[in-house]
Amino acid sequence: MPHRKYLALLFALLLAVACGGGKEVVDEADLGEDDGAPKATETAAGDTAAPAAAATAVVADAATLNGLVKFEAAAPPKMPALQMGADPYCASQHPTPALDEEVVVGPAGELANVIVYVKNAPATPAPSTPALLDQQGCKYIPHVSAVQAGQKIQIRNSDATLHNVHAMPEVNRAFNVGQPVQGMVSDQKFDKVEMTPFRIKCDVHGWMKSYMVVLPHSYHSVSQMNGTFSIANLPPGNYTLVAWHEKYGQQEQAVTVGPKESKQVSFTFKG
Amino acid sequence: MKPQEPIPHNYSMKTLNGIFLWTSVGLLAGTLVMVMYDYVRGWKWFQREFNRIQQERIEQELTAKNDAEMRKRLAELDREMREGQVEIARNREAYIEAQRDLDKWEGRHYAADQDYRFAKAVLDAKRYEFEAAMVQHRRDLREKEHEYNEHTAKVGRLNLVLQDVTRSRDAARARVDEFLTRIKELENRRKELTAGSDLLNKQLRNVAVASVPNLLLNAPMLDFINPTLKIDQVVLSDLFIDMNYMSVPRVDRCMTCHRAIDRPGFESKREAERLAEQLQTQLDRNLVLPARRAETEERVAELRRIVDAKTELMNPFRTHPKLDVFVGSSSPHPLLEYGCTVCHRGQDRATEFGRAGHTPMSRRMEMRWEKTSPFFPTKGDYEKRNWGYQVNPFLETPMYPRQHFEAGCLKCHATQMEVRDGERINKAAHMVELYGCHACHKIDNWRFTDLQKPGPSLEGIAEKTNPAWTFRWIANPTHFRPTTRMPSFFYQRNMTGPAVPEAERAQNVRYQDAEVHSIVAYLFDKSTHRNWSAPASGGDAARGKQLVDTIGCMGCHIAQDTIKDAKTGAVRVAKRDDFPLERHFGFNLTGVGSKTNPNWIFNWVKNPKAYDPFAPMPSLRLSDQEASDITAYLMSLQKQRFMQEPIRPPLRKAVHDLAKGYLINTMSDVDADAKLKAMSDREQLVYLGQRSIEKYGCYSCHDIKGFDGLKPIGTELTTEGSKTLHLFDFGFFGTSTHTHDYKHEDGKKEYVLHNVPSWIYNKVRSPRVYDDRRTKPYNDKLKMPNFNLSPDEAQLVSSVILGLTKEKVAENRLAARDPGMRAVEEGRKIISQRNCRGCHVVNRNGRAIAALITDTNFLPPDLTPQGERSQSPWLFNFLKDPTVMKIRPWLSVRMPTFGFTDQEAATLVAGFAAEGDEPQFDTHRFATPSQQNVAIGREVYTMLRCAQCHSTAPVDPANPPVPNVADTTSLAPNLTLSKLRLRHDWIADWIRRPGEMVPDTRMPANFPRDPQTGGFQSPLANAIDTPQFAGHRAVLRPYFESDEALRKTMADAVALTNYLRDYIWSIGLDQMRAARPGSEGPAPVPAPRQPPAPAVQTGDRGGQAILPVPARQAGLPVLHK
């Protein structure tokens, strides 16, 4: 019976397949894959080159923002003297009592300690120079600061008393480090961008406060005693400039800078 | 040959042939249809589709692997190999010669080897013969011995020959190898290089959808041999499923379609984002072992790819979320041990969508699922998730819909107060406990038994409030407090709702009025009337408010009806969800002045246990002045509007009718009339009140005189989640006369799907809804009160109910079985019942009061490390009477006196100790540190300037000096109290890693961890040699053998903290006062007072229906005809 023959053949084939006869077939296919003539995988090389080129281009025609932060009020708020009596060492560091640094206004109504940064600028690599946060005379110097994500921050205790540095970020990792030894430096860094300024406090000395913001780029500045600030190396473009003050909150301003432009901007906080 | 004569038949061959033909065709077709029917299975599509997804991925990966660099290296190797072959070809003659030589030697070796082996076998035989001859003293002994010796020599000879031949063969082989080494080495290198791709190719072979072998393997009728598409299953021999009155082991086949359920890499975008974030944080914080860092980084990259991908995988192909908790092989619930249906429910063996018992979570989902193509579902159906779903009423355990997934936890975890990582189910169980579902509905499992009643005792209600308020409150609790836990019993949708016919509604209003009045009458009639003393002195409301805000009342209470919306910033009416559950433990204080009287408040806040010995409110040990101030403040919280809501007087007829309705259950109509006639109006009202309290089950939640020991009113819920669909009364929902939806009282549209979870959800959300469009006698109408739950709250509560099943799991599968874990859970139950989390963090959760305390320095302590931290005897004493020691005198929040019994305090102490994995008693309690250690410790203490915050001056533990703002030594606990309170070894541990134990502590890390090694760094390591510390160095030096030893110790954080501990231990006090019994404060002795004579008047206003009576009517209700 021819049928039976076919059936047997079919069965044999089946067994062959089931027991791995299929292997060879696929192996050949594999080989084909391996030998694979050049395929359309012209990858990273070209892509990475572009931004690098762009980055170099940016520095070439970078703009600079110079500005002034002013304060408008009938009279600048009178800051109370800090009561440092709790720690005799601190009190002894200030022959004339130190004033609270919440609002520091210059003689012509310039507002200091305002963090000014570009909100929507492209990220830049973290600088290799560390930022310094000093504790001197039981005060944080600087009182407010902006650092970059991943940038090393050196926190120094220049006082001959115990300070603890209690950073209270929301996004980044909080820490609370004791510094019992004068001249001690503790290295810290914040890995993530945190645009809302957070507090750094000393639990030993209740009056000690500092504010910090962690940005993805280097386009930031803090207004000086004379109210000025300066942001350099900014690639041309449309930006939103943010100014933040510990008491008077946040302001935003749109700026457009052209290549190699040096632009003046100003912020005014009302008391 | 002559054709045969046709034999005459009575049938026609032709017709028969026709019949045979058609029946065979029919049979064949039938068989084909059967084969087809058997072959076309829904799950196959999923497997094929998943294979396709995998194939795509593998191909992509292969392409990525086979990049230019790789191709270059391969080409290089191939070229070298060709060169090698050319080389061999060039020396062809020599190579062939060598090969031939090898062949020859191989042959000789084979022969020599065989000779040797055979000879050895013969030798064994000869040895036996020789031995046997010796033992049997046979005559041929000599002969045998000779033979044996001869053979031994022969074997030795043959062995030598073999060794010789082997040497020659090896030499020949080496000669051949010389030619091949290079090629072989190149081959190995190639193999190494392509190992990754080879593996992928192997995988690809298995999943390739359209490959010929796979098509054949999966072909109809052939697929019985070794198909690549096949049903996957997990057999769970000790987890049972109830099938037709028989428990059989579960065989879960879910992974037949849910292919990637235990395979990472197929996550949903949301899950991938969560995981990536989590892993990245671990990487950032250096919590990943260095050996696993690369692997983790690769995984994060993979997850980010999933997040960034354009499309998302559809559900049956996704990885189970939280693989570290569920399904993953290293999770507590590995797939092979737990399967799927034990948590999710559903039919374990089913492989079809509908039969497996999938349950839709919403009407929209149900409608999408219901659609399908006729006959067979098509690919398009699957892609659109049109599964052809229909309710399977015969399935006893359909799956939990998605919003109730966590209900499954309760099967094994109802032995715990909270499930790890189960935020939702924990909140849900807490809600059930807080709202008191267990009070009316018996829930017979550990979690929901032995809980206190959710409502206050009403046995002294007349001392606390007045009938006018009580009436308005019972009638409409939410009018007084929108966030209240008290449910609304009256004027609900099945009584006075818009769908109730006009005439019936008017009647219902009259009846409901009468019932509320009657309940008030009963409660006030049976109430005690003790005389509470007036506030000791005039109170200052402002000071009172400040106290209420700061001493800890807000851990359990709320005092606001409005809240600033977190998103919009606008002020709006507060909802329950705006506050943590802990703050609903006590009631909302708004309007409390309208409700109570100064005398009662004064005495209540001073000592709640005097009013009700079982009151959950603790004593905050208020002075008379403080209590007066708080009384003044609370009395200033008035709700005039509420107190002006009209009260309709009860109608005599309504009271009579309702009372008679109850009486005729046990007596004849005439007798009932006679009995009622003999009663005064007031008596009738009180009688009705008693029956109404019985009807509505008020006594289940409140202590009410006359109702002791009655069974709770509601259906038992112990196995409610296992009740089958046909036992639920859906009323007219889902029938042709009514649609699936209804409008909830709060205006939202709700759906009733024809499944149990939906029924329960809607019952909880709108308890009377199943009376819609039904005609029922007044007393037969649904009476479950309305808790005014938001959709989310209702979902949570119904999750718990669904989780209460009769499915039993083996003892060894229950969570928290061992005695230590039991101790923790028993402790946690008290923690929940006393609402410790209102103020404290326990096990990383809680501290509801934190919302009101902006300065973290003034938060009550975190109890997460309490077991490791405190000594049991101290903790016991402190819990019984917190005045024995004031540890943190700077806190304004007070640790209340709870009035714990010895048993409760001991349970809490044991629970904490077990949680900290510590023995009950500190084994180092009586350690005495050496003088030397103490001296070193003291020096280190000074160098680290600990004294800046900690005082070491001995104090009275109960009365430490009041903190002085001008002195930083009041910032931290006085260290002389440590020895009484803290465990010996914990002290050093705490100094090393305070932030790890209590994240927001003020105590700084003086020995911060090295970011690279994770070890502790000492600030004194380098500083000891500076002039700053010269003095200390001089003191320390004599204690050490060498400068080097001193330096080494100063750099050793563990040694330093141990010295510090020894110093702290040495200055510790040894004595403190024992807990005073009954230290809740002086219990006032209220004098019994005559109850005022019931001032019931009988108004006569003819048939006039309901008239408003003057507002603020404080007296008892007036009956109207």
pLDDT tens per residue across span A104-127: 888 888 899 999 999 888 889 989
- Nearest chain A CA: its distance from B1015 CA (Å): 15
Distance in angstroms (rounded) separating the CA atoms of residues B22 and B33 = 16
Interface probe for A, chosen from B82, B206, B215, B216 (most Cβ of A below 10 Å), is B216
Does the beta carbon of A175 lie under 8 angstroms from any beta carbon of chain B? yes
Phi and psi dihedrals of B1009, rounded to 5? -80, 145
* Minimal-distance CA residue of chain B relative to A150: B284
**Residue predicted with more confidence, A8 or B1018:** B1018
Residues of chain A in contact with residue B208, where contact means CB-CB under 8 angstroms, are: 26
E strand map for B395-546: 530-531
pLDDT tens per residue across span B769-824: 999 888 899 999 999 999 999 999 999 999 999 999 988 888 888 888 889 999 99
Residues of chain B in contact with residue A173, where contact means CB-CB under 8 angstroms, are: 284-285
Contact B645, B594 (CB under 8 A): no
Q: Do B217 and A18 touch (CB under 8 A)?
A: yes
Residues of chain B in contact with residue A15, where contact means CB-CB under 8 angstroms, are: 225
CA-nearest of B64, B519, B133 to B305 is B64
Cis peptide before A38 (omega within 30 of 0): no
Highest mean predicted confidence (pLDDT) among A48-62, A174-188, B66-80, B825-839: B825-839
Does the beta carbon of A157 lie under 8 angstroms from any beta carbon of chain B? no
Residues of chain B in contact with residue A34, where contact means CB-CB under 8 angstroms, are: 66, 74, 194, 197
Interface probe for A, chosen from B67, B71, B1009 (most Cβ of A below 10 Å), is B71
What pLDDT sits at residue B400?
94
Confidence of residue B917 (pLDDT cuts 50, 70, 90): confident
Count of A-B CB contacts under 8 Å: 125
Nearest CB partner across the interface for B62, out of A33, A161, A177: A33
Nearest CB partner across the interface for B944, out of A180, A192, A204: A180
Confidence of residue B1073 (pLDDT cuts 50, 70, 90): confident
Nearest CB partner across the interface for B1004, out of A38, A178, A182: A178
**Residue predicted with more confidence, A1 or B599:** B599
- Nearest chain A CA: its distance from B565 CA (Å): 20
* Minimal-distance CA residue of chain A relative to B1020: A181
Confidence of residue B1 (pLDDT cuts 50, 70, 90): low
This model of the complex carries an ipTM of 0.75
Confidence of residue A20 (pLDDT cuts 50, 70, 90): very low
Nearest CB partner across the interface for B1019, out of A17, A83, A180: A180
Interface probe for B, chosen from A176, A190, A194, A201 (most Cβ of B below 10 Å), is A176
Contact B587, B495 (CB under 8 A): no
What pLDDT sits at residue B608?
93
Interface probe for B, chosen from A31, A152, A166, A186 (most Cβ of B below 10 Å), is A166
Residue B962 above 90 pLDDT? Answer: no
Contact B168, B105 (CB under 8 A): yes
Distance in angstroms (rounded) separating the CA atoms of residues B768 and B916 = 47
Tell me the average pLDDT across B932-951: 91
Residue B960 to residues B235, B490, B964, B1081, Cα–Cα distance (Å): 65, 54, 11, 21
What pLDDT sits at residue B1066?
93
Mean pLDDT is lowest, of A40-54, B303-317, B862-876, B961-975, for A40-54
Residue B93 to residues B96, B98, B99, B176, B423, Cα–Cα distance (Å): 5, 9, 10, 12, 80
pTM of the model: 0.82
Residues of chain B in contact with residue A17, where contact means CB-CB under 8 angstroms, are: 213, 216-217
What pLDDT sits at residue A268?
92
Does the beta carbon of B1003 lie under 8 angstroms from any beta carbon of chain A? yes
pLDDT tens per residue across span B696-749: 999 999 999 999 888 889 999 999 998 988 899 998 888 766 678 899 988 899
Residue B449 above 80 pLDDT? Answer: yes
Does the beta carbon of B1021 lie under 8 angstroms from any beta carbon of chain A? no
Residue type at A193?
V
Does the beta carbon of A152 lie under 8 angstroms from any beta carbon of chain B? no
Q: Do A180 and B213 touch (CB under 8 A)?
A: no
Does the beta carbon of A91 lie under 8 angstroms from any beta carbon of chain B? no
Q: Tally the C-alpha atoms within 13 A of residue A231's C-alpha that lie toward its C-beta.
A: 30
Helix axis angle, B872-880 relative to B902-915, nearest 10°?
140
Confidence of residue B153 (pLDDT cuts 50, 70, 90): very high
Distance in angstroms (rounded) separating the CA atoms of residues B441 and B711 = 10
Does the beta carbon of A108 lie under 8 angstroms from any beta carbon of chain B? no
CA-nearest of B592, B591, B561 to B579 is B561
Q: Do B216 and A161 touch (CB under 8 A)?
A: no
List, as ranges, residues 59-78 from B with C-beta within 8 Å of A. 62-64, 66-68, 71, 74
Q: Do B213 and A21 touch (CB under 8 A)?
A: yes
What pLDDT sits at residue B970?
65
Q: Do B967 and A191 touch (CB under 8 A)?
A: no
Beta pairing partners, A256: A238
Q: Mean pLDDT of all residues in chain B?
A: 88
Does the beta carbon of A36 lie under 8 angstroms from any beta carbon of chain B? yes
Residue B1112 above 80 pLDDT? Answer: no
